[in-house]
Every structure is written in structure tokens, then in C-alpha cells.
Copies of this chain bind each other. A is one copy, B any other.
């Protein structure tokens, strides 16, 4: 039986994701087990997810995923490289044999070539030299330019967000020589975060539609949608105004040195953020005031979340130290029994197991639990706003 790993945010789970699960099973066998590593309550674009990690994991399993593991917070809020490295390492740790990912390219060989070329020390040097020569370039732009020069047109694939992530997954596999075979599914419908006219909508479009209360049943599998509807009806999930207050309240109390020791906080970026927090009134204005060409908006948003949630640069120097199960179906549960005691990092299925983690891992878990305590402040009822839920919640079994 193949164990296909998937890196995801499922914010929300939509028909494109369903397509990916189906294509993965079509390519690798209908009995293929799909193991997803999913961002928690906060996602890589530097904002809160529409619904809590438990609800999103449940929705994914109800819609066809077998097992959803949580990517711990520091890697959720990392660069594409750190995000991919953290997620792929967890998939490897629990024994995935394949990694399935969407890409605009759809051609795994070309993506492999790009990944290997980027890992080449010569390429690294050329990118560094170009960045020094043209300080107004972002790292991504410099990389695309160097790769296009070296490999011709296929370098320009790096202008597309899913290709970029795909290349990062492949880099992670090569760097760590994980015994994982990459499989790519060509994305259909709208590009990542872009509006499109036909086919599946992007997650970004769907978030926009959900906020307006539009009918999105065409784009989201009913099994997932019913979970989102239940959450919304119970007053749970993202509330931008409440979260803004909760985060600003924290950001305003933090000292300058906290900002300077953020991931990417050196080089003046942390100090700029600190200053912007002291002068502006919204998260968006703060991120806008602190951005530069080299430090784009999304990174500033992530850094603000890192500051508010206590994620300092030290965390992502290592790899995720445990795999926490958020949701599973019966096949997922069977697989968990199979790998019991054999995984490369502890697999947490019960809240009580958290207490047995070692110091470093316990600290990472506490960080995620503390982020959940901010996330739940967005809920409406007092019982859903209770502190410490992450220490008490077990996985959702569907």
C-alpha cells in the first residue's frame, strides 16, 4: 500500500483539493492512504485560518483524507522553504512513500531539475551575487532570474506560487535524502490566490465568498461544507475585528528586542516592525509601513503573527519534533496503529501524550496551544472561548 503525503492548509478544503486526492489515488492505487500535514490555526500568508485546525482537519477527513497531522506553529509561519522543510520532514517521519502536490507545471521532471539546480552551490552564489548587485530585488525575483538564465524558459515556472512550493518540497526531499517519490497533480481552475472564471475557485476566492455569505456549495464538497456551516452557526472561527484587537493588544506590549529576535527580524526588519506597531493603528497599516522590496507584505504579516504568538527565530532551526494527529478516518486510525512506536518522531494521538514530550518538543506544543488560546478568543460563546482547549482536545475521528 502506498502512503501519499500531502502538504496543505485546507483554508478551506475545496474541489481542487478533492481533485488532488482523487488524482493521487488514481495514480498510486485506490487503496493509497492520504496523510496530510496541515497548518494549524494560523497560515503561511500571515493570517488566521477561517476555521480552527480541528474543524479544518475534520472537514478534510470527512471529504476523503485519511489522516491529518498538524504542522506545528513555527513552521506554519515560516518562509516557503521553512514551511516545506517542516512539513516534508513530518511526512517522512510517519513513513510516507510518496509526496503528492499540485503545481501549475504538472511536470515533475522539470520541477526536479529546478530544485536540483537551486541546491547547486554555484547557483546559490550567483543568486547571492545578484542580490548584492541589485538590492531592490526580492530573493524570489533574483532566484527566478538566475534560474531562467541557466535553464531557459523553465526558470520562469518559478513565478507561479504552486511551482515555487513544489520546488521547495523537492529541495527538502533531496537535502534530507528522504525515501519519498514526488508525484505532481496539475492544478485546474484559478491560480493560487487569484480569481478565475471557471473550474474550481482558489482558496483565496472562496474565503472572500464565504465572508460575504455567498453560496459556495458548488466549489466545496458537501462533507467539508457541512463542517464549516456547523462551526459558523456555533459562532466559531475567524472574526477579523476580534483577532485584530487580540493581536494588537499583544504587539503593543512587546519590547523592541522581541521584534529583533523574530525569524527574519535581523537586518532592520524587526526594528521597522516595532516602530510601525508604535505608530499605526491596524495590522495591515503596520505591515505596509514596515515592508520593503526585500521584505514583502506576506513576510511582514507572518512576522507580526510570530511576535504576537511568541515564535522566535530559534524554533525553525530544527525540525518539527512531534506529529500531532488532528483528525483521522478508519484507514488513518489503522495506519496509526501500524506505525505505533516506529515513527521517527512521537505521534500524539491523546492530549495526555503531550505530557511525555521532552523539553524542546513540549515548548513547541505549548506555543501552538498558546496560539490556539488566541484563536479561540474569536469564538462567540464563553465555553468556546475557554483557555487551554488545545491541552484537552483529542483528534476528531470520522
User: Contact string, A366-385, partner B, CB cutoff 8 A, digits 1/0?
Assistant: 00001001100100001101
Of the candidates B248, B370, B387, the one whose C-beta lies within 8 Å of that of A280 is B387
> Of A281, A370, A374, which is in contact with the most chain B CB atoms at under 10 Å from its CB?
A281
Does A242 sit at the interface, judged by CB under 8 A?
yes
Kindly identify, within residues 297 to 320 of chain A, every residue whose CB is under 8 Å from any CB belonging to chain B.
310
User: What CA separation (Å) do A388 and B277 show in the bound complex?
Assistant: 9
Instruction: Contacts A249-B249, A249-B250, A374-B249 given; indicate if A387 touches B281 (C-beta within 8 A).
Output: yes
User: What CA separation (Å) do A250 and B388 show in the bound complex?
Assistant: 14
Does A113 sit at the interface, judged by CB under 8 A?
no
Of the candidates B245, B285, B382, the one whose C-beta lies within 8 Å of that of A249 is B245
Count of residues in A whose CB is under 8 Å from the partner chain: 27
Does A246 sit at the interface, judged by CB under 8 A?
yes
Please name all residues of chain B whose beta carbon is closer than 8 Å to the beta carbon of A374 when the two chains form the complex: 249, 252-253
Oligomeric state, in copies: 2
User: What CA separation (Å) do A90 and B210 show in the bound complex?
Assistant: 56
A382 and B282 contacting across the interface, CB-CB below 8 Å: yes
A253 and B252 contacting across the interface, CB-CB below 8 Å: no
Kindly identify, within residues 240 to 260 of chain A, every residue whose CB is under 8 Å from any CB belonging to chain B.
242, 245-250, 252-253
Please name all residues of chain B whose beta carbon is closer than 8 Å to the beta carbon of A247 when the two chains form the complex: 249
Please name all residues of chain B whose beta carbon is closer than 8 Å to the beta carbon of A277 when the two chains form the complex: 387
Instruction: Contacts A242-B245, A282-B382 given; indicate if A253 touches B370 (C-beta within 8 A).
Output: yes
User: What CA separation (Å) do A278 and B372 show in the bound complex?
Assistant: 12
Instruction: Contacts A385-B281, A387-B278, A387-B280 given; indicate if A377 touches B310 (C-beta within 8 A).
Output: no
Kindly identify, within residues 12 to 46 of chain A, every residue whose CB is under 8 Å from any CB belonging to chain B.
none
Of the candidates B246, B280, B382, B383, the one whose C-beta lies within 8 Å of that of A386 is B280
Does A340 sit at the interface, judged by CB under 8 A?
no
Known: A248-B377, A249-B249, A281-B386. 19 other contacts (CB 8 A): A245-B245, A245-B246, A245-B377, A246-B248, A248-B385, A249-B374, A249-B377, A250-B253, A252-B370, A252-B373, A252-B374, A253-B370, A253-B373, A253-B374, A279-B387, A279-B388, A281-B387, A282-B385, A285-B382
Q: List 14 A-B contacts (CB under 8 A).
A: A245-B246, A246-B246, A246-B249, A248-B377, A248-B387, A249-B374, A249-B377, A250-B253, A252-B374, A253-B370, A277-B387, A278-B387, A279-B387, A280-B387
